[in-house]
Amino acid sequence: MGIEIERKFLVQNEQWRAGIEGELRIVQGYLANNYSTTVRVRIQGEQAYLTLKGPTRGISRTEFEYSIPLSDAEFLLRDQSIAPPIEKTRYLVRHDADLWELDVFAGSNAGLVLAEIELEQPDQAFTPPEWLGAEVTADARYYNINLARHPFLCW
């Protein structure tokens, strides 16, 4: 069973750009969402994935991700999404020994930049980068499913 343990933060300046190690365009949509399961389809570059996520408990949740054909993902995003897809560019940014994922949102979430760090343990220590802003891990407004339903530009 896969477990996702992550913390999410706002980004307060552009200093993170100095540590970019990779960049990937992402389009993702949601096929289902209820109290126990979220089903997401994502196109990441030329790869596509179907992901099932369990309920969040603290900063952890179960996660199962499967590769699917790109044409299937395109169909699901177009015809089966319960909200408009999210568009973002993901940057992989190194700070000390940690690899951060910074999402720069586009479309109706333009202007939002979030940083995530995936951890091995919920209480794992890390050195916060100088560009890191307020933690929003527990703020449901920043969950991608909620950004799809209630975009940042509408707040």
CA angle 25, 103, 127 (to 5 degrees): 135
CA dist 64 and 101 (Å) reads: 19
Residues serving a catalytic function are 30
- How far is it, in rounded angstroms, from Cα 80 to Cα 20? 34
**149: helix, coil or strand?**
helix
Radius of gyration, CA atoms only, the chain: 15
